[in-house]
Each structure stands twice: as C-alpha cells, then as structure tokens.
Amino acid sequence: MVHIQLLILSTVILSTLMFQSKPVVKASGFSVDLIRGDSPLSPFYNASRRSSEMLMKNVVHSMSRIKQLRCLINQECAQSVVIPVEACHLMKFYIGTPPVDFFAILDTGSDLTWVQCVPCTKCYSQNSSLFDPNASSTYRTLSFDSQTCRAFGGKQYSKTSDCQYQVFYGDSTNSTGILGSDTLSFHSTFVQKTAFPNFIFGCGRNNQLSLQNADVAGIFGLGGGSSSLIYQMRDQIDHRFSYCLVPHTSEGVGKLFLGQESIVSRPGVVSTPLVSKSPDTFYYITLEGVSIGDKTVRSSSGKGNIFIDSGTTLTALEQDMYDSVVAMVKGAIEEQPLKNPPGTIGLCYKGDTNVTVPDMVFHFSGADVRLKPVNTFDGNDDVVCMQIVPSFGPVSIFGNYAQINFLLEYDLDKRIVSFLPTDCTRH
C-alpha cells in the first residue's frame, strides 16, 4: 500500500521533531510472529477453501495489486494499494498504557500505521475491542497547527484543533481519523516486552475494510517513508530490520526481527544495494538478469528496476524478461504445458504429471539469489502454475512467494538488502 498525495512526508522535519527532544533508548533486538493470512492461526482462515480456489485468488489479487502499483509509480493515481487477504501477513502488537493488544496487516509497501478507535463514526466489524484513546494515560492527540501534523500531510479536523489524516486504497478500503501518539510495544521470543514511546499512528474513526470477517484492527506500515515504524524508530532499532516468511503449506509462523536480532551475518549471505527512487515507500534494488541452468536473460532496464513487496504474492517481471523466462522454463521441463491455463496465469502444467521444476537464479547487483520451486511454482493435484507474471511496465516486483525461506535483512544505514537461504519454519 502506498499513499502519495494524501500523506506527503518531510524527512528533515520528522527527524528534528521525533528524535531531538528525547534520548534514544536502543532495543537490544527482538522478534515478532508473522502469521500468514491463509494459515489456520489467522482470523482470515477458511477451512472449506480449496487449494485451486486459493491459487486463482492469489493470481487475481496479485494482478490487481501490480496494476495499482504501476499506477502509483507512474504518478497516475493517488490511491494506495490493497493487500490480498491470502497473501497478507498479520502481526500482533500493543498500544497504550495499560497496553491493549491488536492484530494488523503488515505491509512493507505502506508507511502509516492505523487502528480503529472509539468514538467511531463508521467502523467495519471487529471482534476485538476498538482502541480507546481516553483509556490510555500516554496517548496524545497531534494538533493541526503542529509541524508534525503538516509533515504527515494532515489537516484540521472539523472545528477542533486535532490533526486529521485520510488514506484511500485501491479497493473500497479506507480510513479517516486523528493522528496521535502513544506507546507501541511488542511481546517477543527474546525479551518479555519492548516498548517505543511516542509512536505516531492513525486513530481511525471512519474506516472501511474490503475483507470479510476480518478480525484485524488496521494496517501496520513497514515501508521506507517517514511515517512508518521503521523510520520513526530507526535509531532505536539500529536502522535495520529483517523477516523470514514460511511456505504457505506450513502451519508455522514467520518472524519479523528488529534491532540487533535482525542482523544477518552467517555464511551464504549475499547483499545488494538499495536504490533511492520515488515513491520512497518502496525498497528498490537492481535486477541484472535471471538464469536457469546455463541459460541467462539480461535486463535492459537501469538501476532500481525491481522492488521487494511483502503484499504481492507473485513476482512480476518486465515483459521481455518474462517472455524469456517462460521460454527457459519450457525448455527445462520435459512435460508439455497446458494450452489453455486457468484464468490469467501464463504457464501451467497438469498436476498429476511428473513435473520437475528447475531452480532459478535472480542476478541482483552483487548478489545471486537462487530460487527453489517453492518460490516460483504453486499448485495442486490438478494444475501446477508458475508464480511469475508480466509487470506490464518498466518496474518489476519481487513478490512474497519468491521471499519464502529467505532471511531478508534491510540495513537502512548501509543501504543494502541481504538474502540468506533459511528454513523459516525453524525460526
């Protein structure tokens, strides 16, 4: 999700306001569970949903998100991008004093964190209690005439002095409310509790979520923009975070690591530079080519031609590279592909055949990342399909299937992303 015009952020102002007036207390490092949207542990879980239905939903939602992302990158629209239900990852966190726990959708493609609050003019159904600012002794409302409100793109709320925010997404999801600050905390595997005071977030009073029966409080942004947790708490977490995503067939949970615990330094790690581009929410890197066996296709695009996105299931490649990858896959698999693959999927095989999917190597600048079949293909007894599609534009997307069983570290000080092949179910 990305909000461009409605949340115009100022890095310089935010740095001065948030961190100059209070001492920096560093977290030694901690982790938080990441629950897949289609996991039995998720409030979205539907036991009756078939794998074939899941496969098609992932494709449809990913294609919709890819089109919206392209629109935002080209600055042709101002809406944010919706996260597919099955593709999302949920995170539990606490707000306020005393702390109240919530689940929210985690997204590296959005910045602002917001939750539903009381009083609520219009809220979607949420089984858990809404956040009550009046019940927290540490909650503070931002004033509309403050520099922080202006830096977050806020405006005056009605006739009060409160700072109002608005975010609209690519579907019917939206949130309008008041910007405030409170203590954000996590319970972790490594430490009992880690708290971040004065975290700025949206207290939603008029919200709509397109997801049905979703017991989530809102959206948690981990993008590169100035309103995200990663930027607001950058000094406390040593300017770094990492995560490990489990396969969708696993009933386990992934992990988000912040601070010292996020450092990836074991043998086998490879790193590639982050590229600064607009919008700054996205984590851009450079894809130089893709190999299967002894065949390689090279990218004709320049630096920052692909970004990593936790909210898109599929990987999307520029058309010429996609066509070449399809040709290489067909040449490496002996079985004949389906002439009429389901939906908008480009390359599929019969599920009851002995399809041996080859490894793919993504050649990023300075880092060769080997993708296993779990990263590039998915299916069931009826059909097996490649989880790579054309991006219909010059910028590609490295989706969350491609990130499965990798420990990905984002070092925002050194401006690099590191990949380490890992069994994420064991974290």
Known catalytic residues are 107, 309
Assess contact for 276 and 254: CB atoms under 8 A.
Answer: no
Cα 208 to Cα 116: distance, rounded to the nearest angstrom = 10
If one counts every other C-beta atom within 10 angstroms of the C-beta of residue 406, the result is: 23
Cα 377 to Cα 346: distance, rounded to the nearest angstrom = 12
Which candidate, 219, 231, 135, 147, places its Cα nearest to that of 177? 219
Cα 204 to Cα 357: distance, rounded to the nearest angstrom = 46
Look up residue 71 and give its two tokens: 């629109």
Q: How far apart are the first and last CA of the chain?
A: 27
291 three-state secondary structure: strand
User: Using H for helix, E for strand and C for coil, what is the string for 102-151?
Assistant: EEEEEECCCCCCEEEECCCCECCCCCCCCECHHHCCCCEECECCCHHHHH
Say which residue the tokens 């708290």 belong to: 195
Say which residue the tokens 């949903």 belong to: 49
Which candidate, 268, 230, 221, places its Cα nearest to that of 405? 268
Which candidate, 424, 393, 390, places its Cα nearest to that of 407? 424
Which candidate, 248, 184, 242, places its Cα nearest to that of 29? 242
If one counts every other C-beta atom within 10 angstroms of the C-beta of residue 356, the result is: 10
